[in-house]
Structure 1
Amino acid sequence: MTDMQIIELSEVGGTRAFPIVIGLPEAFAIERRLKGIEIARPQTHDLLANTIQALGGELLRIEITNLEEGTFFARLIVSKGGDEIEIDSRPSDAIALGISKGVPILVAEEVLEVASAQAAAGINPVPEISADMEDEDDDQDEDEDESL
């Protein structure tokens, strides 16, 4: 759980905001894009953007579409040949890509309403690790140790 970061999305022209828990690599990718830091070789999000473009598509927007049991869902909206194609994505990847391409990042009204109300009420966005999950992680670590 130490590799978790939080990004806060805020409503443009409004007061609502909410956090999304993301991984450390995605946080670095988003920070790099926000600061305009260029790197010599393409990273995963750059690769996806380049692939969309090479295949004749154009990223139109990012949509945060759903919130289920503390997990946010997103999709990339790509235009190709006059059609809009929806691609399922983790919000962190979608946000990093959206920032790099300068496209709008939209949040469904229901998601904004629920997530911002939870944030205002102080509900923790980080799911607690259950004892069962910790046991599974320990078992997996033991299996990995045995295979080495």
Structure 2
Amino acid sequence: MKPMPNLVRVEPVALLPTQAGCAVFLGDGTKTIVFYIDPGVGASINASLSGQVPQRPLTHDLYMLTLQAFGGKVSRAVIVRMENDVYYARLILEAENEIMERKIVEIDARPSDCLAITARSGAPFFVVRELWERLEDMSAVLRDMRDNGNGEDAAADGSDPL
């Protein structure tokens, strides 16, 4: 993948329980951001990141299987903006047709679904640099949560995530 200076590559740092679902912490090694997701997607992300293979395909697994059946793959996911405290992301997909022409498709998606899908595909996850630079660094908050025992990484089935 060619360098993309307008993007910051991030990785999941922690997945922590909240009263309404899960807090997802993403970081680049120097800064950490957080967004909140529902518990079902949190369990899906955790399962994928911890290498759990369900007996039957879950929703995000089904998405990946369908994409692969049509010869497509996930290229990357990008959080592109935040409006009214809601993050918006784009999932970038690639496919080649029978005459070997490459097609790239960009679709609107929730960051949580993007993370669940990139966790399954191994595709990179990014944040637009201009947005990244405006967001508050939550590294100290995460550290304090872990130090005070208020932020045990949570898994729906009790396994260790991240």
Partner of 1:2: 19
Structure 1: runs of 5 or more not aligned: 123-148
The 5 Å alignment of 1:12-51 reads: 14-51=29-66
The CA RMSD measured in Å over matched residues stands at: 1.9
Distance 1:121 1:104 in 2: 25
Match of 1:94 in 2: 114
Give the Cα separation in 2 of the matches to 1:7 and 1:76.
18
Partner Cα separation in structure 2 for residue 47 and residue 10 of structure 1? 28
Shift of 1:121: 9.9
Q: How many residues align?
A: 119
Deviation, structure 1 residue 120: 7.1
TM-score, normalising length from structure 2? 0.68
The corresponding residue for 1:70 is 85
Counterpart of 2:136 in 1: which secondary structure? helix
Question: Where does 1:117-136 land on structure 2 (aligned, <5 Å)?
Answer: 117=137, 119=138
The structure with the larger Rg is 1
SS of 1:47's equivalent in the other structure is: helix
Name the one with the larger helix percent.
1
Larger proportion of strand: 2
Contact 1:17 1:112 in 2 (8 A): no
For the residues of structure 1 that align with 2:79 and 2:25, how far apart are their CA atoms? 13
Which contiguous aligned blocks of 4+ residues in structure 1 show a shift greater than 2 angstroms?
A: 1-4, 119-122
Cα deviation code 1:111-136 (max 9, x no counterpart): 2112235x4798xxxxxxxxxxxxxx
* Partner SS, residue 116 of structure 1: coil
Tell me, which stretches of 5 or more residues in structure 2 are unaligned?
1-17, 97-101, 142-162
Aligned sequence identity (%): 33
In 2: Cα distance, 1:90 partner to 1:34 partner: 18
Using the size of structure 1 for normalisation, the TM-score is: 0.74
